[in-house]
Structures are given as structure tokens and as C-alpha cells.
């Protein structure tokens, strides 16, 4: 299912080369829906024979959560060095120091373990990776056995949609050997991506998406993987509900409609003060009637 276009395949190969050349920490930047999780799974699968893979995909990120996760993976008998409560509410510097000492000693004993393989931590969290967390990873990454690091990391960073639109992926920052940028797909790449998935799904219908349909998807999705997948999936759902033989442009148009705005649940002034309004109206009617009667007399 992995699509290597949009420089994703090159990114995977570059990350693997960096790890094999003893790069301690590699960073991958991408917006929500850019394919970070898929890329992390591909890297983990490619390197599972060479490394002991540790995945950190907890939505929140903190030093306490990170260290407890590593303790459970590497040193389960001492996982209580940082309790669940400490990991969630905050951990003292003394506890951090003890946890790092225990992890460091365990990593140095790796050659004596059954596999003897180094460890690769893949961090794919929704939260920002703070500087204190990076310092912890750098400390563990400096441990070497026979001149090679025993602990390496691939960190996936989420950036905002605005940053994804404005940042130049070919800027000097993203050309660094240990930084990679997951950019949005071009029109040609979206067409290729749709063709790629249709070949896996139904080879006989690999050309189902016409260029006009691909252009529409590109316009609505702006080249973001998740948006492309959502739009195509919704279009297939609509076609299935209509018992259509194949997907058409009309199904895509319906799938691409903006969501219906919900009616406001806030009550207006008269609704909130209905009783007072009725009382005031009644008073006015009575007063008007009294004036009319007075003039008649």
C-alpha cells in the first residue's frame, strides 16, 4: 500500500542510509495527513531485522511519558522508577536521573543479550517534541558499543497547515542530512497515486480515475494524502449507495461538497424573554383599549 512517489521512497532510503551511517537522530517533518505514520511503519518494517524497534505513538509527549515507555520496553523490572502518576503529572529531576542511569546501564548490556541488536526508537506522536525530551534522547544516543551507537531515533514532527503551505521544502533547513520534509503531492503525482491504489484494489479498473477526476481531487485535497483518501473513499461510498457500476465525476462532486452548516442552537432575544414580551404586549393592548373607551365616553 505504500506509495513511494512524492519523494516518499527517496525519503525512506535516505533515512535508512542515515541510520546505517550512525546518525544519532533523524527528523521527519509533515502536516497532519501527510503520511508520517505510514512512513514510520515502512521504516520499522524495513529495519526490523537489523534493529530492535520501539514505537512511541502516544498522543501526548513529555519526559515522564517517554522515560516510562522506554523503561517498560528496555527495563520492565524497574518500570516503577517512574510511576504512571508521575509520567502524567510531572517527574522530578532525581527520578529522571535514576531512570536515565538504569536505561544507560541496560543499553550497555545489549551485546550480551540474545539478539545483540541496537535499538531504534520511532516517535510518531501528535504532540510537539520538547527540548527536554530531545536532551533525554541525545543522552541515550551518545552511548556507543564498538564505536557505533546502540540507541538511535527517528522523530516525526507535525507542522501546521499554514507552515506546510508557506515553507519551502527545498530550503537550507530541510536540506540537512538529518531533516526530511513530507511535501504535498503535485497533480501528476496525485494521478499516479490514484492509479497506484487502483492497481492494488482492482487491476482491471486501474484507469478508473480520469485526468479530470484527478484534477478535481487535487483541487479539493490540495495534495494532502489524508484528504485525497477521504474524498475518494466518500465518492466510492456514494457510488455504492446508488448501486452504480463504476465511479463517476458526479460522485466525486457530491463527495467534495462542503459540509452542511448546522443551524444555530442559540436562542434569539425574543425566545429568551418570551414571557416578558407577552406581558408587555398584553399591557399595551389593555392600555390601548382603555384609551379608546375613554375617548368614546
* Over residues 51-59, mean pLDDT: 93
Question: Are residues 28 and 138 part of one domain?
Answer: yes
Domain boundary among 181, 211, 233: 181
93 and 198 belong to one structural domain: no
pLDDT band, residue 194 (cuts 50/70/90): very high
Convert the pLDDT of each residue in 71-115 to its tens digit.
999 999 999 999 988 888 888 999 999 999 999 999 999 876 667
SS (H, E, C) 79-136: HHHCCHHHHHHCCCHHHHHHHHHHHHHHHHCHHHCCCCCCEEEEEECCCCCCHHHHHH
DSSP helix/strand/coil, 66: helix
Domain boundary pick from 129, 163, 181: 181
Quote the number of domains for the chain. Answer: 2
User: 82 near 75, Cβ under 8 Å?
Assistant: no
CATH code of 129's domain: 3.40.50
For the entire predicted model, the pTM comes to 0.80
Torsional class of 90: left (φ above 0), alpha (ψ -120 to 50), beta (otherwise): left
Instruction: Check if the beta carbon of residue 6 is closer than 8 Å to that of residue 188.
Output: no
Under 8 Å between Cβ of 180 and 34: no
Residues 130 and 201 in one domain: no
Say if residue 113 is in the same domain as residue 236: no
Q: Which of 149, 181, 213 is the last residue of a domain?
A: 181
Give the CATH number, domain containing residue 217. 1.10.8
Identify whether residues 54 and 140 lie together within a single domain: yes
Return the pLDDT at 207. Answer: 85
Full residue range of the structural domain in which residue 41 is found: 8-181
Q: Which residue has the cell 510511576?
A: 83
114 located within any domain? yes
Query: Same domain for 45 and 101?
Result: yes
pLDDT exceeds cutoff 90 at 270 = no
Query: Hey, which bits of the chain come out as E strands?
Result: 25-31, 52-56, 119-124, 144-145, 148-149, 151-159, 179-181
pLDDT exceeding 70 applies to what percent of the chain?
82
Grid coordinates standing for 68? 516510562
pLDDT of residue 232 exceeding 60, the answer is: yes
Distance of alpha carbon 244 from alpha carbon 236, whole angstroms: 9
- Alpha carbons 179 and 156: distance in angstroms, whole number: 10
Evaluate whether residue 248 is within a structural domain.
yes
* Same domain? 65 vs 151: yes
C-alpha count within 13 angstroms, C-beta hemisphere, residue 39: 32
| pLDDT at residue 162, rounded to an integer | 78
**DSSP assignment, residue 246?**
S
Amino acid at each position: 500500500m505504500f506509495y513511494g512517489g512524492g519523494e516518499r521512497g527517496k525519503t525512506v532510503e535516505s533515512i535508512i542510509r542515515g541510520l546505517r551511517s550512525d546518525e544519532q537522530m533523524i527528523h521527519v517533518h509533515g502536516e497532519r495527513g501527510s503520511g508520517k505514520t505510514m512512513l514510520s511503519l515502512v521504516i520499522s518494517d524495513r529495519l526490523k531485522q537489523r534493529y530492535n524497534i520501539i514505537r512511541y505513538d502516544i498522543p501526548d509527549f513529555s519526559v515522564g511519558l517517554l522515560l516510562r515507555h522506554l523503561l517498560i520496553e528496555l527495563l520492565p523490572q524497574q518500570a516503577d522508577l517512574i510511576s504512571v502518576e508521575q509520567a502524567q503529572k510531572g517527574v522530578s529531576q532525581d527520578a529522571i536521573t535514576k531512570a536515565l542511569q538504569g536505561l544507560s546501564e541496560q543499553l550497555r548490556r545489549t551485546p550480551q543479550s540474545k539478539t545483540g541488536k541496537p535499538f531504534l526508537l520511532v516517535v510518531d506522536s501528535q504532540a510537539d517534541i520538547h527540548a527536554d525530551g530531545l536532551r533525554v534522547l541525545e543522552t541515550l544516543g551518545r552511548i556507543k558499543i564498538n564505536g557505533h551507537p546502540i540507541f538511535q531515533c527517528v522523530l516525526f514532527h507535525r507542522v501546521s497547515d499554514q507552515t506546510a503551505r508557506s515553507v519551502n521544502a527545498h530550503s537550507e533547513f530541510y536540506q540537512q542530512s538529518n531533516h526530511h520534509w513530507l511535501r504535498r503531492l503535485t497533480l501528476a503525482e496525485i494521478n499516479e497515486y490514484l492509479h497506484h491504489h487502483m492497481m492494488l484494489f482492482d487491476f482491471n479498473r486501474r484507469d478508473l480515475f480520469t485526468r479530470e477526476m484527478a484534477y478535481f481531487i487535487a483541487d479539493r485535497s490540495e495534495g494532502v494524502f489524508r484528504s485525497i483518501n477521504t474524498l475518494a473513499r466518500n465518492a466510492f461510498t456514494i457510488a455504492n449507495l446508488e448501486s452504480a457500476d463504476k465511479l463517476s465525476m458526479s460522485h466525486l462532486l457530491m463527495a467534495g461538497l462542503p459540509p452542511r452548516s448546522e443551524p444555530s442552537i442559540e436562542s434569539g432575544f425574543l425566545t429568551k424573554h418570551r414571557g416578558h414580551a407577552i406581558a408587555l404586549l398584553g399591557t399595551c393592548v389593555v392600555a390601548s383599549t382603555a384609551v379608546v373607551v375613554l375617548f368614546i365616553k
